[in-house]
Amino acid sequence: MSNSQNASDGHPVADGAVPTASSHRRVVVVDFGAQYGQLIARRVRDLQVYSELVPFDIDIDELAADPPAALILSGGPASVYAPDAPALNPRLLELGVPVLGFCYGMQAMASALGGTVPRTDVGEYGPAELTRASVTSRLLADTPAVQTVWMSHRDSVTKAPAGFTVTASTPTTAIASMEDVSRGLYATQFHPEVHHTSYGNQMLSAFLFDVAGLSPDWTMTSIIDEAALAVRAQVGDERVILGLSGGVDSSVVAALLAHAVGSQVTCVFVDHGLLRKGESEEVEAVFTQQFEVDFVRVDVAERYARVLAGISDPEEKRRRIGSEFWHVFFEEAARLEARDGRPVRWLAQGTIYPDVIESGSAKASKSAATIKSHHNLIPFPRGVHFDLIEPLRNLFKDEVRALGTALGLPEHIVHRQPFPGPGLAVRIIGEVTPEKLAILRNADAVVREEIDAYNEELAKATGVRDSERSVWQYFAVLPDIRSVGVMGDERTYAHPIIVRAVESRDAMTADWAKLPYEVLGRIATRIVAEVEGVNRVAYDITSKPPGTIEWE
């Protein structure tokens, strides 16, 4: 920490982001439409080739200065004729590296090279039967003559550009794939990246390994080794500080830093008293017993209780929790500096690739580091400066989890369900008090125990686990009302608990989980019996939208 003023608004600046895939040759996915590109980048990574996502209007000179081993042009929702259609810069096709275009990417490639892509009225959506032409194809390689592919398009290429060979068709689409081997240009109207394309992975493999000459060498071991090297190169023998929340991302950063620069790291765990039952003890146990780091737990539950007293407005609660976090954190950093007699220069953060992509673009993210999760809107106080280190900024969430497992983090941390930074405070409607926190914590523990058990049963029965599990976020909410009940011979006037359990893949949309009545029944019976102050349980059956997952 230093007191030099950095950006005028007091925002942190990532002076030294960990370099990307270093020795690995990378594949760049040019994104013509949000969700398509991410999926492709993930498929490529699944094949153990490092890949990055860039926006379609990437600066070509920047790309050419450090050329990738191959390019993939994603699909996109636009028609090449739409006035605001994302344009393909033809220079992308002239970088001297192989290019593979999917769907919109194929159409953009064809239009740029003089092919014909007429507007059509007949689209093709869903599975289609692909028949290979009787020519050899490097892309389709030894996949079957007839196979199922996934289509999702209206326009299509009706005349391939000069030099291209048409390699397959479907009943609706005469040019379903094409290639110009001499120029290293390949394209499919269908989507090899989706699972419904039966041989999509083989085609991607053919492109990566045969056409582009890449090797499947981006493995967990190489990720750990490279990240450790990069961290060591970056921080030298200086001290690093990390705000540990107990969440997956900050825990994986802590484990990685422990591996890379062990004794130089201090993990500051700000226990604000808003965590779930048993959570602080679990975090402390892992980072004091399993990893060699300097672990500091700051118990500030009382301080937070004071900060939150009398506050009912959800946004004000969030703001206070976030800014108090930084106050505590900076006080701790200053204390450590005084203790050790030397400055702490580096602040490690659990920024992950989706944060980078969402914060504008991969391009912008290099200069605009953001503070994520519960403190994501809170800039550093004026005059405070750390250099940032973000060792996970190139990894997707499931890769972060795999990395955590490879580094030895226990399952309960690596597969923790999402939990908001402001913790239980956003699940207590109205003022947060120690009494309400105790009620919610106990009720929440019951909800988690019962649904964990149910998930476990489901996993055994279906073989589907973890991030793909059907119920992915589940918790209790304490509303600011009371109702009448009767327990024993006495009338009660106590709080209800709302149970919230949702199915989702990315938290952007969610549906309420169709939990069996028996599970809901057990939860309700146990909560009323075990949690003092609760006499009623209700189940939230709202999807998102229109609801949100959290209640505040």
Whether 440 contacts 478, CB under 8 Å:
yes
User: For residue 93, which of 161, 163, 185 has the smallest C-alpha distance?
Assistant: 185
Question: Is 246 or 421 the residue whose CB approaches ligand XMP more closely?
Answer: 421
Q: Does residue 43 interact with ligand XMP by CB under 6 A?
A: no
Q: How far, CA to CA in Å, does 307 sit from each of 232, 310, 318, 320, 490?
A: 39, 9, 11, 7, 36
Minimum Å distance from CB 250 to ligand XMP? 11
Q: Does the annotation count 103 as an active-site position?
A: yes
The CA distance from 44 to 196, in Å, is 16
Q: Annotate each residue in 215-254 with x if it binds ligand XMP (CB under 6 A) or - if it does not, as one string.
A: ----------------------------------------
Minimum Å distance from CB 275 to ligand XMP? 13
Minimum Å distance from CB 499 to ligand XMP? 15
Query: Is residue 435 exposed (0-12), middle (13-18) or buried (19+ Cβ within 10 Å)?
Result: exposed
Q: Does residue 415 interact with ligand XMP by CB under 6 A?
A: no
The CA distance from 47 to 45, in Å, is 5
Joined together, the tokens standing for residue 49 give 């080739």
Q: Which of 12, 184, 404, 422 binds ligand XMP (CB under 6 A)?
A: 422
Joined together, the tokens standing for residue 408 give 């030895």
Residue range at the interface with ligand XMP (CB under 6 A); choices 160-168, 193-201, 276-284, 543-551: 543-551
The CA distance from 139 to 148, in Å, is 16
Q: Does residue 416 interact with ligand XMP by CB under 6 A?
A: no
User: For residue 69, which of 110, 28, 108 has the smallest C-alpha distance?
Assistant: 28
Minimum Å distance from CB 355 to ligand XMP? 11
Q: Which residues from 317-336 bind ligand XMP, rule CB under 6 A?
A: 318
Q: Which of 101, 105, 350, 420 binds ligand XMP (CB under 6 A)?
A: 420
Q: Does residue 548 interact with ligand XMP by CB under 6 A?
A: yes
Number of Cβ within a 10 Å radius of residue 72: 29
The CA distance from 392 to 370, in Å, is 14
- Selected catalytic residue, list 52, 124, 179, 193: 193
Question: Is 264 or 473 the residue whose CB approaches ligand XMP more closely?
Answer: 473
Start-to-end CA distance of the chain, whole Å, equals 34
Sheet holding 146-153, edge to edge: 51-55, 27-31, 70-73, 99-102, 185-188, 177-180, 165-169, 124-132, 146-153
Q: Does residue 544 interact with ligand XMP by CB under 6 A?
A: yes
- Selected catalytic residue, list 24, 103, 179, 332: 103
Minimum Å distance from CB 378 to ligand XMP? 11
- Selected catalytic residue, list 24, 153, 191, 272: 191
The CA distance from 103 to 151, in Å, is 8
Site size with ligand XMP, rule: CB under 6 A:
13
Q: Which residues from 339-378 bind ligand XMP, rule CB under 6 A?
A: 373-374
The CA distance from 28 to 37, in Å, is 10
State CA 64 to chain mean position distance: 28
Minimum Å distance from CB 509 to ligand XMP? 9
Query: Is residue 296 exposed (0-12), middle (13-18) or buried (19+ Cβ within 10 Å)?
Result: middle
Q: Does the annotation count 193 as an active-site position?
A: yes
Minimum Å distance from CB 1 to ligand XMP? 24
Question: Is 374 or 495 the residue whose CB approaches ligand XMP more closely?
Answer: 374
The CA distance from 442 to 169, in Å, is 60
Residue range at the interface with ligand XMP (CB under 6 A); choices 41-49, 150-158, 272-280, 416-424: 416-424
Q: Does residue 503 interact with ligand XMP by CB under 6 A?
A: no
Helices (H), 206-313: 220-235, 248-261, 279-285, 301-308
Q: Which residues from 447-466 bind ligand XMP, rule CB under 6 A?
A: none
Whether 334 contacts 1, CB under 8 Å:
yes
Residue range at the interface with ligand XMP (CB under 6 A); choices 32-40, 43-51, 285-293, 542-550: 542-550
Residue 502 is classified by DSSP as E
Q: Does the annotation count 153 as an active-site position?
A: no
Minimum Å distance from CB 481 to ligand XMP? 20
Residue range at the interface with ligand XMP (CB under 6 A); choices 11-19, 187-195, 419-427, 428-436: 419-427
Q: Does residue 473 interact with ligand XMP by CB under 6 A?
A: yes
Residue range at the interface with ligand XMP (CB under 6 A); choices 60-68, 103-111, 199-207, 415-423: 415-423
Q: Which of 273, 350, 421, 496 binds ligand XMP (CB under 6 A)?
A: 421
State CA 278 to chain mean position distance: 25
Residue 122 is classified by DSSP as -
Q: What angle do CA 429, 430, 434 make, to 5 degrees?
A: 90
Residue range at the interface with ligand XMP (CB under 6 A); choices 270-278, 293-301, 462-470, 544-552: 544-552
Q: Which of 138, 415, 507, 512 binds ligand XMP (CB under 6 A)?
A: 507
Catalytic residues, by residue number, are 103, 191, 193
What does the binding site for ligand XMP look like in residue numbers (CB under 6 A)? 318, 373-374, 418, 420-422, 473, 507, 544, 548-550
